[in-house]
A and B are shown apart, each in its own frame.
Chain A
Amino acid sequence: MKTDPNFPNGPLKSIHGKCLVLQGDDIDTDRIIPARFLKCVDFESLGHVVFADDRKEQKGNHPFDLEKNQDASILIVNKNFGCGSSREHAPQALMRWGIRAIVGESFAEIFFGNCLALGIPCATASNSDILKLQKELELEPRNKYLLDVNNSVLRCNNKNIHMNINKGALEMLLSGKWDATATLISKTEELKKIMKDLPYLNNFLLDK
């Protein structure tokens, strides 16, 4: 698998860029990436088919097709974004399209975890803040925003919008340890001990 140098890497303290507004609650991963595109053994070709069916239906008017959004990197969504299937193809497709952070009212859990594992922060804000932000972006789509992960705020000019970033996720993003593999494999001794103590791995003979 090739790793693009532009993909998230190391500690992620802030993300700077234009915002793309995608309105609607309960946008599921089947919509982010329809199942037929899951027929692949790598993720490389997923970027241009993100939201394929919705985009086809909206004939060029989908937010991911609008000219003004083409270089956006912060996605603004509403409630329960990424619900449904566990397919990591969904955040992979978003990342390969160019998304580097997602701000919304709430996220589905598996999706949130999948994003974190790719180094894409998912930050939440209140319903009223998100609606206000979406309105503002309608008027001023070219403004650049800074998602300051460290201080959990989204900044533009002199305005600050307070963000919530899950504490565990925050630490992982800031330390650069959002890719958990290295940490997990370093605990072999502790893991062996758990395995030695689990009845179902030991013929249930432990407390005979």
Chain B
Amino acid sequence: MSAGTLYDKVWDLHRVSNLPGGSTQLFIGLHLIHEVTSPQAFAALEEKGLRVLCPDRTIATVDHIVPTNNQQRPFSDPLAEEMLKTLEHNCAKHGINLFGIGSGKQGIVHVIAPELGLTQPGMTVACGDSHTSTHGAFGAIAFGIGTSQVRDVLASQSLAMNKLKVRRIWVTGQLSAGVFAKDLILHVINKLGVQGGVGYAYEFAGPAIELLSMEERMTICNMAIEGGARCGYINPDEKTFEYLKGRLNSPNESNWDYAIKWWKSIATNTSAVFDDEVCFNANEIAPTVTWGITPGQSVAINDTIPAPDSLNVDDRAIAQEAYEYMGLNPSLPIAGIKIDVCFIGSCTNGRLSDLQIAADIVKGQHVASGVKAFVVPGSEQVSRAAKEKGLDTLFQKAGFEWREPGCSMCLAMNPDRLEGKQISASSSNRNFKGRQGSAQGRTLLMSPAMVAAAAIKGEVTDVRELMTSTQT
């Protein structure tokens, strides 16, 4: 059993009571809601005659269904309009702060909470969305929950949870030029498997992790869930504190030193005990691309799609399903696969640094003919900051469309979607069958830099070939 980890400490500090059967009632410090998984929770609350216990600990935004080209209300999709109206109604009724379109603070829930300083070390965070693990980048314990649990958090500011085991993922070395956080996490998921993290919280640590910026750390923790781990986290350090300083909801100056002292105290002890430990070397990681229908089915850019007999016996059936669905044969090199659509965005890679890196690749080049490429900033703040740097015009000049913030083609609940068997290069997090809006649509996950390279060349390309020495 783990001891002395950040996970253990945060767990103990938030334990309200022990529930029958060994689960724990855990206080939730920050509850984030959006339009898709909250309406039924509010309805259930009303049905039971309950109120929202701590409305000031819940923050709402709208992201999944918002159109990214024309955000004029009412939305042209009446169902999307109804969902947004329902959220607005519920927030107004229960006194919940909603960052709506045009507020200057709207965006993907996992992008806005950190940038508003809402996500802080040592907190418990819950949201009706599996990628809530993102917030672990700050040393918070953050997990995705279902709608019944959203109802529970609204009603009681707490959740019934079973304690997880803790696996430390220690990463030595340093990512090479052209290799990014996305490649690192795709690599880890490939090695440990999409089920490897079931029952675990992932602590990401080691020299290579410490070198990552906060935005890169969010990419890592964001995809912990794709490796089966309910949450992932990174211990807070100077980078965390620097990121948080001066943000809207960060502790103010008179409390700052106390905050840092506490934040440091909740980090994993040097003598901590883990349930499991694995080690990776960042120097060995190359740009990584998925070829199949789970985020674990990936290869390095200079590699070929694996043949069945090179895979674990357990992985062969799903690989077979993937070859068929993707229309890709084993032993085909991943580089050179033709691309129809390029998507840069999502809570994994829709932040300013992601857009900046992609822009550096795209600068002075043009999207290959026949390729539809578009950029969807993760939030209104990201969009504003990108525009200040001229990234919007840079992308547009290169033939990309520049959109308004939202989840967009990460899950295609808005009009942005693949058609027929189109194949996308996507900076998002899931390549499940049908994920991007077409039941036959195909998704190749990769870093935003690799998406940019694919857009320019019209095929999967090693981004390092496009990087000038000044960019590296």
Contact = CB atoms under 8 A, between A and B. Distances in A.
Nearest to A90: B146
A200 B156 contact: no
Contact of A171 (B21, B158, B159, B314): B21
A53 interface: yes
Nearest to B413: A35
Contacts of B413: 35-36, 38-39
B320 to A, nearest CB: 11
A25 B314 contact: yes
A30 B430 CA distance: 10
B146 to A, nearest CB: 4
B291 to A, nearest CB: 15
A200 B145 contact: no
Contacts of A171: 20-22
Contact of A41 (B40, B50, B434, B439): B40
A166 to B, nearest CB: 7
B354 interface: no
Interface residues of A, number: 70
Given A56-B439, A84-B432, A168-B21, A205 B258 contact: yes
30 contacts: A24-B318, A25-B317, A25-B318, A26-B195, A30-B435, A31-B432, A31-B434, A35-B435, A38-B413, A39-B79, A53-B433, A84-B130, A85-B130, A114-B146, A166-B162, A167-B21, A168-B19, A168-B21, A171-B20, A172-B23, A175-B20, A181-B48, A181-B50, A183-B19, A190-B16, A194-B13, A194-B15, A198-B29, A207-B258, A207-B262
Contacts of A184: 25, 152, 155-156, 158-160
A30 B261 CA distance: 43
A171 B44 CA distance: 24
Given A1-B47, A26-B195, A53-B439, A117 B146 contact: yes
Interface string B250-261: 010001001101
Interface in A161-208: 166-172, 175, 177, 179-181, 183-185, 187, 190-191, 194-195, 197-201, 203-205, 207-208
B36 interface: yes
Given A86-B130, A179-B148, A183-B19, 14 more contacts: A3-B47, A28-B294, A39-B80, A40-B83, A41-B86, A53-B434, A79-B314, A88-B147, A113-B146, A168-B21, A168-B22, A181-B151, A187-B158, A194-B16
B195 A180 contact: no
Is the interface on chain B under 10, 10 to 19, 20 to 34, or 35 or more residues?
35 or more
A57 B25 contact: no
Contact of A86 (B122, B129, B199, B434): B129
Nearest to A183: B19
Interface string A16-52: 0000000011101011001110111111000000000
B189 to A, nearest CB: 12
| Residue of B14, B20, B129, B160 contacting most chain A CB atoms (<10 Å) | B160
B43 interface: yes
A208 B53 CA distance: 29
